[in-house]
Structure 1
């Protein structure tokens, strides 16, 4: 296949093609039915394939990934389509949209990324600091 499948396929086929866990299929089917989807295509993007769900009303399509879906217009739309109990946040990849996390996901929690942590070696009995491999520049 090329980067984008040119035919419209079923939701189950599209989700399976991009590796979305079967445990998420019913959850996704519920909100895509509520949104109203005309067709599904998958994008075989290296490292992060996804399904494009084209809305019946012509609005912004949903992008369905392994652990989350983005493309909702607002938090209110997420609640209306997927319920108030779902984990939701502003999308980090599609500015101006909202996303919902799937029950089974590998999403990074929202917030700042962890800082670069430098490793340092312990101190040798001679008082010199060892390298991170454990060698003392004075004794070894």
Structure 2
């Protein structure tokens, strides 16, 4: 009976550990500006990949160390200085399906111009599938 009880307890603990792990199936976690071919798991177990296979424009930069955090995804960025529309291409998108898009934007003084302290905020527009989502950095 003790053996059966130990098995039940161990099985319950194992199930709790498995259930507590993040699932990344069906997710794409892109690290913009990471070196070509880079992949890594963050502290939560999420697998990040470089954005180089999703876009072929822009320039990669390292963020000023004053603005970085211990997480890898906040150490680089991709800048688009040409001021034209630059598009990420995602594959296996199903028409009519719902998708969660979570984006983080960080200037990080990558160019040394100290725009963080400027009275003129950085501005950009964000479109998702040709729909205007953000204009001048504000949700539309």
Category of TM-score, reference length = shorter chain: under 0.3
TM-score normalized by the length of structure 2: 0.27
Larger radius of gyration: 1
